[in-house]
């Protein structure tokens, strides 16, 4: 079986001794046209994959920045169907993997099999359902496996070794380590504790390990990249989108600068005192 985009991207980066940079965009904030433009910009600025968020009314894992972002998108009428249309448009302009990030309720209402089929057709490479534990993911996993779509699950700092093994068996593509016991946007400290967490998990699975939540600067991203296979950045990006929502030129310039500097820091990290 041929490699999927996610597996191929991690293999290519691994061969070069680099980690992946994965930014997050909330679909529909400030509108779907802007999200499409920023997604294409991310591809040009060095992103290795892209998370596109489906706005939800009760985003329990998200901090204030992404809560406000989701609320603005929902007020614009953004739905799971319109997000899939967005992905289809973005896919025509980028080759990097796309991860659809969302919550269980919209997926359940849409229908698991229907979602997987439509997501695959749109060009999605993986699904990440934040509040769906693997014990309850049988229907979605079966549908995803049948369409050769990766299914990503979360790990927390408190996840036991036995549970890491259990989650890793259910996952495909990569594992997402939530670096803090809090919501998105909370300040993360990169230090010995994170290094121990990453080492412990990587001893238990061969899946690539991405780290996210609270990464808001190129310096911090580089520190994470020295120990993890991928760095995910969401709130820092959407904070700029919020600040520049009335000036699209400034939004592109500021988001593009952040994405470029983040990507350069992540890709160069292991050659600068780590690995």
Q: pLDDT class for 56, splitting at 50, 70, 90?
A: very high
CA–CA distance, 254 with 250 (Å, rounded to integer): 6
Q: pLDDT class for 227, splitting at 50, 70, 90?
A: very high
Dump pLDDT digits (tens) for 145-172. 999 999 999 999 899 999 999 999 999 9
Give me the pLDDT at residue 75, please.
97
Mean of per-residue pLDDT scores for the chain: 93
Taking CA atoms, 256 is separated from 1, 42, 216, 251, in Å, by 36, 7, 14, 8
Give me the pLDDT at residue 3, please.
84
Sign, Cα dihedral of 91, 93, 97, 102: negative
Q: pLDDT class for 190, splitting at 50, 70, 90?
A: low
CA–CA distance, 43 with 37 (Å, rounded to integer): 10
Residues marked as catalytic: 51, 62
Q: pLDDT class for 175, splitting at 50, 70, 90?
A: very high
pTM of the predicted structure, to 2 decimals: 0.94
Give me the pLDDT at residue 179, please.
80
Dump pLDDT digits (tens) for 99-143. 999 999 999 999 999 999 999 999 999 999 999 999 999 999 999
């Amino acid at each position: 079986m041929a490699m999927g985009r996610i597996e191929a991207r991690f293999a290519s980066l691994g061969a070069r001794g680099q980690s992946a940079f994965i930014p997050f965009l909330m679909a529909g904030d400030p509108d779907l046209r802007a999200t499409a433009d920023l997604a294409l910009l991310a591809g040009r600025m060095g992103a290795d994959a892209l998370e596109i968020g489906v706005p939800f009314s009760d985003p329990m894992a998200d901090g204030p920045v992404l809560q406000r972002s989701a609320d603005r998108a929902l007020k614009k009428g953004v739905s799971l169907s319109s997000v899939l249309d967005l992905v289809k448009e973005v896919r025509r302009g980028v080759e990097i993997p796309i991860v659809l990030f969302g919550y269980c309720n919209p997926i359940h209402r849409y229908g698991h099999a229907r979602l997987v089929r439509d997501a695959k057709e749109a060009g999605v490479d993986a699904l990440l359902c934040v509040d769906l534990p693997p014990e309850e993911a049988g229907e979605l996993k079966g549908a995803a496996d049948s369409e050769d779509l990766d299914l990503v699950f979360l790990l927390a700092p408190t996840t036991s070794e036995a549970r890491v093994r259990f989650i890793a068996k259910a996952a495909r593509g990569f594992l997402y380590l939530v670096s803090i016991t809090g919501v998105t946007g909370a300040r993360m400290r990169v230090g010995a504790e994170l290094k121990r967490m990453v080492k412990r998990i990587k001893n238990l699975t061969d899946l690539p390990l991405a780290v996210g939540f609270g990464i808001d600067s190129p310096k911090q991203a580089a520190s994470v990249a020295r120990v993890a296979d991928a760095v995910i950045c969401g709130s820092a990006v959407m904070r700029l989108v919020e600040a520049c929502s009335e000036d699209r030129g400034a939004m592109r310039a500021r988001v593009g600068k952040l994405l470029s500097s983040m990507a350069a820091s992540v890709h160069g990290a292991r050659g600068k005192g780590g690995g």
